[in-house]
């Protein structure tokens, strides 16, 4: 494995650990490389794992073009409950019955979310509203309204059903919130849902199989 010891401009693929923020990874690499000019190409939430692309030096000019590329995710929804953040950052509501939900219902529901769709970002997100991050207002108990956006979902595949957990694979455009997809999917099923696990496996041609773990960086 190549050692990350030179200040040469580079693109570095990292497998972000659970509960680390994307900026935590940037700080770690900045310290290990001894280089100040470093940034990431696309945020991952603390409760998500997987591919985080870092660029150093002159390669930071590529960040915008990397961010614009297609993303691939794997993860799971838990149905029968919802959360304000659409994931486990906030407490789930009391469960409701999902016994009437059939596998066929779940598979049919995915068809509604393939192609160009409109979704609203979670209020617990980094979207700016009046110059302030939405999650800051949400955590302060301030009510805000976020604008809807159009995104493209090229693939939405159910890979396993073991209710209340549904495992999936999604291939989508920049700006897609998988948490919002989970929440909307739960509404379609009529029982609610939240994102219980998420892993980014690809950005464009960059794959998680080529990424370094934090332990390997150490």
**What is the average per-residue pLDDT within 19-35?**
90
DSSP code of 92? Answer: P
For 142-175, what is each residue's pLDDT tens digit?
A: 777 888 999 999 999 999 999 999 999 999 999 9
Q: What's the CATH fold of domain 11-68+204-217? A: Alpha-Beta Plaits (3.30.70)
- Domain 71-202 falls under CATH 3.40.50.12780: no
- Does 24 score more than 70 pLDDT? yes
More confident residue, 108 or 121: 108
Distances (CA, A) of 204 to 11, 34, 57, 114, 159: 13, 28, 21, 19, 22
pLDDT, residue 14, reads: 96
**What are residue 110's phi and psi, to 5 degrees?**
-60, -30
Q: What pLDDT is attached to residue 1? A: 45
pLDDT at 7: 62
Residue 83 CA from chain centroid, whole number: 16
Q: Give the model's pLDDT for residue 5.
A: 52
Lowest-pLDDT choice from 130-139, 146-155, 172-181 = 130-139
Q: What is the pLDDT of residue 146?
A: 81
The tens digit of pLDDT for each residue in 8-22 reads 788 999 999 999 999
Summarize the confidence of residues 93-109 as an average pLDDT: 98
Residue range(s) in the chain whose domain bears CATH number 3.30.2350.10: 71-202
Catalytic status, residue 45: yes
Region 131-135 average pLDDT: 75
The angle, 0 to 180 degrees and rounded to 10, between the axes of the packed helices 178-189 and 103-110 is 130
Q: Is the pLDDT of residue 73 over 90?
A: yes
CATH 3.30.70 positions along the chain are 11-68+204-217
CA-to-CA dists, residue 47 to 1, 50, 68, 88, angstroms: 28, 10, 22, 8
- pTM (global) more than 0.85: yes
Q: Looking at residue 185, what is its pLDDT? A: 98
Express each pLDDT in 78-87 by its tens digit: 999 999 999 9
> What is the pLDDT, as a whole number, of residue 79?
98
Find the catalytic residue in 45, 87, 160, 184: 45
Residue 123 has pLDDT above 50, yes or no: yes
């Amino acid at each position: 494995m190549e050692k990350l010891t030179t200040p040469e401009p580079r693109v570095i693929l990292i497998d972000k650990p659970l509960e680390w923020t994307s900026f935590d990874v940037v700080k770690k690499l900045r310290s290990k490389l001894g280089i100040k000019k470093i940034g990431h190409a696309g945020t991952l939430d603390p409760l998500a794992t997987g591919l985080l692309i870092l660029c150093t030096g002159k390669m930071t000019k590529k960040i915008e073009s990397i961010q614009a590329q297609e993303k691939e995710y794997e993860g799971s929804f838990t149905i029968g409950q919802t959360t304000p953040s659409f994931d486990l950052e906030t407490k789930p509501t009391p469960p409701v019955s999902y016994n009437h939900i059939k596998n066929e219902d779940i598979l049919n529901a995915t068809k509604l979310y393939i192609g160009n769709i409109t979704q609203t970002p979670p209020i617990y997100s980094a979207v700016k509203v009046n110059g302030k991050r939405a999650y800051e207002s949400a955590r302060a108990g301030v009510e805000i309204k976020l604008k809807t956006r159009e995104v493209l979902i090229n693939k939405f595949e159910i890979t396993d059903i073991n209710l209340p957990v549904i495992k999936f694979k999604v291939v989508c455009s920049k700006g897609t919130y998988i948490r919002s997809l989970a929440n909307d999917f739960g509404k379609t099923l009529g029982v609610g849902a939240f994102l219980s696990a998420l892993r980014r496996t690809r950005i464009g041609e960059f794959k998680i199989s080529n990424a370094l773990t934090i332990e390997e960086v150490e």
